[in-house]
Amino acid sequence: MTIRESKRWFGLLMAVVLLVACSESPTSPNPGPDPNPVPDPNPIPDPNPVPVFIGSSIAPVGANVLSAVITVNATGFDAASLRIRTPGEPDLLSPPYAFDGEEARPAALGLLSSKFYEIDVLVTVDGVTELGETLTFVTSRLPSWLPTITPVGTPAEEGFVVLAHPPGAIIVDNQGRVRWYFGDTDGSEFQFLTSFKAHPNGEYTLSGLQDHLRMHRAINELGEEVRTLGCVGRDTRFHEIRVLASGGYWIVCENPVATDLSSRGGNVDGTVNWTTLQRVGADGSLEFEFNTADHFSLDDIDQSVFVGVAQVNLTHGNSIEFDTDGNMLMSWRSLNEVTKVDASTGEVIWRLGGNANQFTVIDDTRAFARPHGLRVVGPGLIQLLDNGNEAQPGWFAIPSMNSP
């Protein structure tokens, strides 16, 4: 081997040694995967997560054997809904329920008693709906306190009817079948429920004569109490409440006023109970008040009611309704009257019936008495319960103008 060749081999050998030394250097280890990674405190969410349906479970709703709530667990979906099937009946479709994190709780409502149901759990993302899984549910027999209802005639429209039955609240279909109810299994919770109403904000209200029902209880579709509604600074009348989509509400209130009734045959230390109408905001603040004591008179009622008494319920307000022009209509049992009031100013527009009547009633010499349940059913047309002793079925057509 020549000296030049030996130098070349020596150089190659040194290069190999240096490479090996570098590869085994303790100052440059091969990192590999970190066995204890530190989580990123501000991770960047995946802009396109893959939706994953995890599972669902079903449970009955309190004492109501016709309802169930489904707990849906999933990731990456916007909402969950239900398709409810039983032989011989049209499918029921629930509205979509938004996910709160990884959970949504759609409700199966409007079921019939003693039926086997298959419930498809549907999940939706970006407008695309898919089946998560199918659950089964069997409804039981109805409690004995629920009435048997037999409809007569042809239904005017599709939908359901809400009813206040003394032992509890009921919703029935056009065939008279109970589709939802609220009350104890034995019907002991209410004993005397007087009002049950459905409202456009999705709440239902109940009121009655028992102490715990003096205010209006607002419940959701599962029967869960969400709030209590009442008058501001006055006692609440149980007859009527109209909850708005905003969460505010119109309500009738008591307004007792100390009054000397001796000139009319009553007590010198008498009390006249007037009705006050309030509009209350969703935050509980008083927004509007109409007080009948400021607009009506003791002369508006049959004077015999004052004789020998200490207290007179002069108005007995029991209905609030909105005319097609947005103004208010109210009915007063004691006055045999319906009144239209400007919803902005509180000024009386007209008065129909009773001693202060401003209309000529055609083809009815008796007119209505003791009205309840006032509702507008069309322009210039109202419907009410004639609750008088000689009541007969009929309609009252009112001119759609703002004065009689």
Q: What is the rounded distance in angstroms from the CA atom of residue 314 to the CA atom of residue 292?
A: 10
H-run or E-run covering 82: strand 79-85
Q: How far apart are the first and last CA of the chain?
A: 132
Which tokens sit at 17?
A: 């040694």
- Phi and psi at residue 160, to the nearest 5°: -125, 160
Separation of alpha carbons 264 and 248, rounded Å = 40
Q: How confident is the model at residue 5 (pLDDT cuts 50, 70, 90)?
A: very low
d(CA 278, CA 286): 7
> What number is the average pLDDT over the span 337-354?
96
Do residues 41 and 119 make contact, with C-beta atoms less than 8 angstroms apart?
A: no
- The pLDDT score that the predictor gives to residue 2 is 44
CB within 8 A of 357, min separation 6: which ones?
Answer: 337, 351, 367
Convert the pLDDT of each residue in 94-111 to its tens digit: 999 999 999 999 999 999
Domain spans, the chain: 52-138, 145-227, 230-404
Give the closest residue to 71 by CA, choosing from 109, 100, 114, 113: 100
Q: Does the structure show a pLDDT above 60 at 12? A: no
> What is the distance between the alpha carbons of residues 389 and 180, in angstroms, rounded to a whole number?
34
Task: Please name which of 130, 100, 133, 105 lies closest in space to residue 119, comparing C-alpha atoms.
Answer: 133
* CB 117, CB 141: distance < 8 Å: no
Residue 3's pLDDT is: 41
* Cα distance between residue 104 and residue 96, in whole Å: 9
3-state secondary structure 251-313: EEEEEEEEECCHHHCCCCCEEEEEEEEEEECCCCCEEEEEEHHHCCCHHHCCHHHHCCCCEEE
C-alpha closest to that of 264 among 236, 298, 233, 289? 298
As a whole-number percent, the residues of the chain with pLDDT over 70 amount to: 86
Report the pLDDT value the prediction gives residue 398, as an integer from 0 to 100: 60
Which CATH fold topology does 52-138 show?
A: Immunoglobulin-like (2.60.40)
Rounded Cα distance between 379 and 382, Å, is: 8
Q: Global pTM? A: 0.81
- Beta-strand ranges (E) seen in 282-398 are 286-291, 311-313, 317-322, 328-332, 337-341, 348-352, 372-378, 381-385, 396-397
**Contact yes or no for 320/371 (Cβ under 8 A):** no
For the stretch 269-303, pLDDT in tens is 999 999 999 999 999 999 999 999 999 999 999 99
Give percent of the chain above pLDDT 90. Answer: 69
